[in-house]
Structure formats: C-alpha cells, structure tokens
Amino acid sequence: MDYQGFEAEQAALQGPMVDDYGREFQQFSNQELVRVFHELLELEDVSCILELGAHRAATSKRFVKAKAGRKAVAIEANPFNVAKFGPLAEEAGVLYLNYALNDRTGPLDLVLSDSDQDRKRGHTKTSNSILRNLDFGRTKNVEVPGITFDDLEHDPAFKDYLPSLADARPALWIDVEGALSQLLAGAHTALPKCLFAMAEVERVERFEGQKTVSHVARQFADLGFFPFLRDSEYMPTQHNVIFVNGALVTPDKIQSVKETFVKNIKDYKPETT
C-alpha cells in the first residue's frame, strides 16, 4: 500500500476518535503504537535496536534491561545531552555515541534554543536539531560531528560493539527532530539491513527546510519499507509511524498484530472517574 492509501485508511480509523475524544485518545493511540513496536521486537526475536536521536536513551535502556544478551546503540547529536545522559546509558550496557545523523559525513551545526531557561537547564531540550526549530526565539549554534547512517555502520566503536549490521537485523527507534529526510538520504546501504523503524514524522514544516511525512514516506519506500501503522499523538501536526522492511518481514506474519491494534483503537473508551 502506498502512503496515500495508508494515510486514508488510518485517517478513517483514527480521525473520528480524535474528534470525539481529543487528547486522551491521542495519548492512547501512542501507547498502542509503542506496544506494537515492542510486540514486533518479540515476534521477530530482535536482539539489537538502534535509537537514533536518543536524548536519555530510554528505549535503549529499557530494551537491554528486559533480556540478557541484548544490545542497543543510542545516537545523540547534542553534546550537552551526551555529557548528562551518556554515562547512565553506558552503565546500562548501551553504546551511546555523539553524532548528528545527516546526508553526508562531516562537522555541522546543531541549532540550540538559547533562552534564559535553556541556559539554566544546560541546553538539554529535546527539540534542538540540525535544522532550526521555527518555534525557537534566541538560538546558538554548536558544531557537532555529523555522520551518515551508512558510515556509522563502519565507525570503529560501532563496529566493535556490533560487528555486522546485516547479522544483527536491528529495529530502529527514530526521533531526529525534523531531520529524518537527511538521515534517510544517508542510509542507502544501512537501512535495508534493518527490520522495521518507528519514526517521528511531521505533517507540517516545524523546522527550517524540513521535509514532511509525504516526502520521507517516499524515501522509506525507495529503500524497501512500507507503512504499517501510525498513531495520532500530536495530530494534526506530528505523529509516529512504524515502517517495515518488506524484504525481511512479510505482511502476513504481522497481520495479527495489525488486527489487534485496529480492534483496540475501535474499542477505545475514555476512562471514567
């Protein structure tokens, strides 16, 4: 199914629920999509995940702690986040690396919000990006190491921790604050070795020069991935989509997962107090 057809199907399923129940349903839909992501991890017996745009590396830490022998790589562009959260992730067994994923390898600027509050908090806001957030007021640029996903696979620390991406067949958790198109443009050889990806996408431009979901969905398709399910977390501007590698995961194998998600969405009723 192409993305237009996928979106029409999901809009018909979730749109009326958003209209009727608002934020409560939106949060529920996100919880359901996260549940699906973890169900797919179990179904495919995934032993490694890559968290791209990691911040605290919460998903990576949860994954490695859940079962012995698992591995997780967390990639984070912001050096302030790396200094604050990296040691805790490493203690949990996660490889935490300071890179901005991009369409080419080499240094680039990270655009930080630089309000008085940001200065007090040490510039650890989650919405900093290699693209300027259109909601930011005062900003400052910090030069950071940039790398393509294709080159990351050959980074010495990465390769020492994870010798073969193809053998690992990892799943991806992607939250790169508007720079998903740049990540995908540098992932032509690496991404097809991955099973599926849960990715944050935007329907409107929230970052300067950003490509929105219709564009990144075509990039995923060009690399062999089809849209599987989405939530309505911050509709109508932003949500999350699980894209699945059609060469490694057959739709029939995961059909029951989709059916359960659809049933749970249809059966949703807000909690009463």
Residue 74's pLDDT is what? Answer: 98
For residue range 75-117, what is the model confidence (pLDDT) as tens digits?
999 999 999 999 999 999 999 999 999 999 999 999 999 999 9
| Residue 63 included in any domain | yes
| Residue 113 included in any domain | no
Task: Look up residue 223 and give its DSSP letter.
Answer: T
CATH number at residue 67: 3.40.50.150
| Residue 135 included in any domain | no
For residues 271 and 10, the model is more confident at 10
The whole domain housing 14 covers 3-98+149-266
| Residue 75 included in any domain | yes
Check if the beta carbon of residue 59 is closer than 8 Å to that of residue 38: no
pLDDT(1) > 90: no
How many domains does the chain divide into?
Answer: 1
Check if the beta carbon of residue 92 is closer than 8 Å to that of residue 70: no
| Residue 109 included in any domain | no
| Residue 141 included in any domain | no
pLDDT mean over 144-158: 98
| Residue 72 included in any domain | yes
CB pairs under 8 A, 24+ apart, for 266-271?
Answer: 266/13, 268/17, 268/21, 268/25, 268/28, 270/21, 270/24, 270/25, 271/24
Threshold 0.85, pTM exceeds: yes
Residue 271's pLDDT is what? Answer: 84
The phi and psi torsions of 110 (rounded to 5 degrees) equal -100, 130
| Residue 31 included in any domain | yes
- Residue identified by tokens 């944050």 is 200
**Percent of the chain with pLDDT strictly greater than 90:** 97
Separation CA 4–CA 152 (nearest Å)? 32
Separation CA 60–CA 73 (nearest Å)? 7
pLDDT(273) > 80: no
